[in-house]
Amino acid sequence: MSDSLTRRQFIASAGCAGCALAWSGAMALPGYAAATEERLPLTKELSTQEALHYEKIEDLKVVCKLCPKECQVADAERGYCGVRENQKGTYRTLVYGRPCTLHIDPIEKKPLFHYRPGTAAFSIATAGCNMECSFCQNWDISQFRPEQIQMFDLPPARTAQLAADTKSPTIAYTYSEPVIFYEYMLDTAQAARKLGVGSVMISNGYIQEKPLRQLLKHLTGVKIDFKAFTETFYKDSCKGELQPVLRALEVIREENVWLEIVVLIIPTLNDSDPENQAMAKWIREHLGPDVPVHLTRFSPNYKLKNIPATPVKTLERLTKIMRGEGLHYVYIGNVPGHPAENTLCHHCGELVIRRLGFRSTLEGLENGCCAKCKTPIPGVWEDPLKA
């Protein structure tokens, strides 16, 4: 097996938004092609880039101010996420320019339904996470340290250029938890913007307000995994906290960056009617009725293999409850072909976007409005960097 993938090979295989194109440490990588081609090398070297958002305290210790965990880290130790290390009193990110996974996905897979439907998202991730969800779908990268999996050497400018060369209008920071590769995401988003490429963060929203506001200036969209509406669930199932996520959601709204929410509905853990009704009420009151909410189907995974898949009836019942609370766009996810994948105009009920899995057809959308009643449909329908 080769230790690199040629840039030409990647670009050549990245023809369409729906392509299941992927590189990751878990996959066999194609061999070298022509010796003159630029290569995307694997590396075993961790980054030494200094981290942002930390404070130095006594005895060469530091306090990380990136996420609400506020890890206090002694010299030669790492924070909880495993990708930030104190090296003699200087805090460093070990994954700057070190993605472990590169894919080109349909933007619908994130899922983002009101953000440039039918386009490609150049998707990247590094190792690490600041939570540990017992149902994680990407535990094989999120729960590992960078040196335990393969890494590419791909600095921000090259990452952005690769997205542009593959004609991806958007980079998605996704799969694991982009908050923990914050500096890489921030610099890549800025480099991408100069090339006319947008940036969306697919995140758990577990981040402090100051770094979040700094980052949002460079993002064109955000999707937050809203795990549940109880502190108990966040503590027991995710090793996180609810309150900071609620604040992050408000901040994203305040900064006027396009936002969608996903709730993975897990039988017996977060599928009660009162909890989801309360969540919908909070969303409407704090974020407004137009934020799309995706209720997605759980399937047994990672440490939650003993719980069965979510019955579709549960998703349908909760969708009805959330719509009844006044949310305009509530979708059912991970149930391909379900009618609740489609977008209907919230004013007249006409079909606006038809979906099947990750494919979208704009049947009734004209200039961002319902073709029938002309009501504006909230979303990012045109290139946000040209607006």
Q: Which of 14, 17, 42, 64 is in the footprint of ligand SF4 by CB under 6 A?
A: 64
Structure tokens at 36: 């003159």
DSSP structure string for 198-220: EEEEEE-----HHHHHHHHTT-S
Task: Pick the piece of the chain touching ligand SF4 (CB under 6 A) from 67-75, 189-197, 284-292, 306-314.
Answer: 67-75
* CB-nearer residue toward ligand SF4: 130 or 237: 130
* CB-nearer residue toward ligand SF4: 82 or 117: 82
Q: Which of 39, 70, 139, 342 is in the footprint of ligand SF4 by CB under 6 A?
A: 70
Give the separation between CA 355 and CA 352, rounded to whole angstroms. 10
Q: Which of 10, 40, 46, 69 is in the footprint of ligand SF4 by CB under 6 A?
A: 69
Give the separation between CA 153 and CA 126, rounded to whole angstroms. 11
* CB-nearer residue toward ligand SF4: 83 or 163: 83
The label of the residue with tokens 């958007």 reads: 170
Q: Which of 17, 21, 62, 81 is in the footprint of ligand SF4 by CB under 6 A?
A: 81
Structure tokens at 359: 């494919």
Residue 92 near ligand SF4 by CB under 6 A: no
- Ramachandran region of residue 16, left (φ > 0), alpha (ψ -120 to 50) or beta? beta
Question: Are the C-beta atoms of 230 and 242 separated by less than 8 Å?
Answer: yes
Question: Are the C-beta atoms of 9 and 162 separated by less than 8 Å?
Answer: no
* CB-nearer residue toward ligand SF4: 136 or 164: 136
Residue 66 near ligand SF4 by CB under 6 A: yes
Task: State the minimum distance, in angstroms, from the CB of residue 311 to ligand SF4.
Answer: 35
Give the separation between CA 340 and CA 346, rounded to whole angstroms. 13
Q: Which of 9, 14, 79, 152 is in the footprint of ligand SF4 by CB under 6 A?
A: 79
Between 104 and 143, how does the x/- string for binding to ligand SF4 read (CB under 6 A)? --------------------------x-------------
* CB-nearer residue toward ligand SF4: 79 or 205: 79
Q: Cβ contacts of residue 131 below 8 Å, gap of 6+?
A: 177, 204, 206, 238, 239, 240
DSSP conformational letter for 344: E
Q: Which of 10, 23, 80, 115 is in the footprint of ligand SF4 by CB under 6 A?
A: 80
Q: Which helix (H) or strand (E) holds 362?
A: strand 359-362
Task: State the minimum distance, in angstroms, from the CB of residue 73 to ligand SF4.
Answer: 7
Q: How far apart are the first and last CA of the chain?
A: 45
Please tell me the total number of residues recorded for the chain in this structure: 387
Q: Which of 180, 224, 283, 295 is in the footprint of ligand SF4 by CB under 6 A?
A: 180
Task: Pick the piece of the chain touching ligand SF4 (CB under 6 A) from 79-87, 92-100, 108-116, 306-314.
Answer: 79-87
Reported as half-sphere exposure (CB side, CA atoms, 13 A), residue 21 has a value of 26
- Kindly state the number of chain residues that form the binding site for ligand SF4, as judged by CB under 6 A: 12
Task: Pick the piece of the chain touching ligand SF4 (CB under 6 A) from 80-88, 92-100, 318-326, 335-343.
Answer: 80-88
Among 352, 358, 386, which residue's Cα sits nearest to residue 118? Answer: 358
Binding site for ligand SF4 (CB under 6 A): 64, 66-67, 69-71, 79-81, 84, 130, 180
